[in-house]
Structure 1
Amino acid sequence: MVRYEYRCPACGPWTVALPMGAADAHRTCPTCGDPAPRRWSAPLLNRMDPTVAGERSREEASRDVPGVVTSVPPAARRRTPSDPRQARLPRP
């Protein structure tokens, strides 16, 4: 289903969900019943989760201008075994 926008001169804009290609050039306003012309607008193709959109834009920016690292990241801390028998085992 696609959302089509119409604008009534008296009542203002409104949308209707119809199958693709089934929209008429004019449709009657649901409030006042006057004919309302269809408005042309951009399709909503870029609707995605804001987290995903932010990660994708960060990835695209890193292609041309990669982030500069100013220091070495800290080493990962090793877990100490909670079982005293494991403390005597050799470590890698």
Structure 2
Amino acid sequence: MPTYQFRCPGGCPDFSAIYPMADVPGQDACPRCAAPARRLFGAPALGVGRTAAMQLQDRTRASAEHPDVVQRLPGAGRRNTPVTTNPLHRRLPRP
């Protein structure tokens, strides 16, 4: 459920309350002075969390905006040593 911020007109610090999206009130009672506090409108807390999925999404977004710059060309040519030591792989077609 979403968390909503409220501001008391009596000067108490802002407080938060959790309500379902369908039942959120425009006012809530202040927990300190019980005055009717108005709901504040702010940015939604989208993308909050340090899960593996969120970290992957952040890295993907960062690479789109600031891609890595290639400093030099990768090594050219084939290796001198075989990639595999399995004799059955020798029969496979080569590119």
TM over 0.5: yes
> Which residue of structure 2 aligns with residue 41 of structure 1?
42
Equivalent-residue separation in structure 2 for 1:12 and 1:23 (angstroms): 20
Structure 2 alignment gaps of length 5 or more: 76-80, 91-95
Task: Select which of 42, 57, 60 maps to 1:56.
Answer: 60
Equivalent-residue separation in structure 2 for 1:56 and 1:5 (angstroms): 31
CA RMSD of aligned residues (A): 3.1
> Which residue of structure 2 aligns with residue 72 of structure 1?
74
CA shift, 1:69, in A, is 3.1
1:28-68 superposed Cα distances (whole Å, 9 cap, x missing partner): 10111111011011111122436335412233126xx5522
Percent of pairs with identical residues:
25
Judged with a 3 Å threshold, the aligned counterparts in structure 2 of structure 1 residues 68 and 43 are, in CA distance, closer, same or farther, namely same
Equivalent-residue separation in structure 1 for 2:68 and 2:55 (angstroms): 20
* SS state at 2:65 partner: helix
CA shift, 1:24, in A, is 1.1
The alignment covers a number of residue pairs equal to 79
Structure 1 alignment gaps of length 5 or more: 79-85
The normalised TM-score by structure 1 is: 0.62
> Which residue of structure 2 aligns with residue 3 of structure 1?
3
